[in-house]
């Protein structure tokens, strides 16, 4: 995949949201390892791991990373301007950012429900809305959204998260149809349980149960996600759109 990533370097900038940790940070690391420095990373709270990553490649993180709130349209405008100032050619948008809380449906507050739906579904929509015009003007581009296995299976104590991630599936399919005539592909990755990200908030005994339920009997590795994303934003994926890629160890 290294040569492919070098090819991607010439297409334009790759925008990664949710780069402050977990899956997003791993995707940024994968691209940097493979020689692609044309990435722009969003984070909600300053993350030293993200800044150390760029510094390890002799890159100034302040030139590549920006802290913005993705449910705030004014912040997203700043995000777009930051990205386009660095490179006015936007090739790909990778919408990783998301959040969750725990609670049984009848105990969830309206505030909790709105927070999770906004952090996942609304943020994905607003980012896509902001960057699509640039891709349309160029007549090409790639969008990769992040959903979850729980959008298809459900899970106890997170109906708001299930609903938000299911919404991303619908958003992906609708966008794919709208943008196909501009050579812009839109796909989604539906994650199972991985060794980074929200899993860190899951009690150890529950992690063991999730591994037991997964046919491959392990958590996924974030590099496996990065390699899939690398393909989905490549030139060679131009006929692949509106698809949901399940990467979950056979969980369902």
Catalytic residue numbers, as ranges: 161
Place of tokens 């449910």: 71
How far is 57 from 12, CA to CA, in rounded Å?
19
Give me the phi and psi of 105, to 5 degrees please: -55, -40
In contact, 49 and 21? CB cutoff 8 Å: yes
Phi/psi for 188 (5° steps) reads: -130, 150
CB of 242 within 8 A of CB of 187?
yes
- Least Cα distance to 36 among 98, 87, 95, 96 occurs for 87
Of 139, 146, 199, 196, the closest CA to residue 169 belongs to 146
Determine how many CB atoms are found less than 10 A away from the CB of residue 51.
18
* Helix segments in 73-214, DSSP class H: 73-86, 110-117, 123-138, 150-153, 159-179, 204-213
């Amino acid at each position: 995949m290294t040569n492919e990533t070098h090819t991607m370097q010439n297409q334009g900038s790759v925008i990664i949201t949710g780069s402050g940790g977990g899956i997003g940070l791993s995707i940024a690391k994968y691209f940097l390892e493979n020689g692609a420095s044309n990435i722009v990373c969003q984070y909600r709270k300053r993350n030293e791991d993200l800044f150390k990553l760029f510094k390890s490649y002799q890159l100034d993180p302040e030139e590549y990373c920006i802290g913005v709130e993705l449910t705030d349209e004014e912040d997203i405008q700043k995000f777009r301007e930051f990205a386009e100032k660095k490179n006015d050619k936007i090739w790909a948008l990778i919408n990783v950012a998301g959040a969750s809380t725990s609670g049984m449906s009848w105990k969830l507050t309206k505030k909790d429900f709105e927070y999770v739906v906004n952090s996942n579904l609304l943020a994905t929509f607003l980012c896509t809305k902001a960057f699509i015009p640039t891709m349309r003007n160029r007549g090409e581009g790639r969008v990769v959204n992040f959903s979850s296995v729980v959008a298809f299976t459900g899970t106890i104590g997170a109906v708001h998260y299930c609903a938000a991630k299911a919404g991303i599936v619908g958003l992906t399919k609708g966008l794919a149809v709208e943008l196909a005539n501009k050579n812009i592909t839109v796909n989604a990755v539906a994650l199972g349980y991985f060794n980074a990200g929200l899993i860190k908030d899951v009690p150890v005994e529950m992690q063991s149960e999730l591994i037991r339920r997964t046919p491959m009997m392990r958590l996924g590795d974030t590099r496996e996600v990065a390699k899939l994303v690398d393909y989905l934003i490549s030139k060679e994926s131009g006929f692949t759109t509106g698809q949901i890629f399940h990467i979950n160890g056979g969980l369902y």
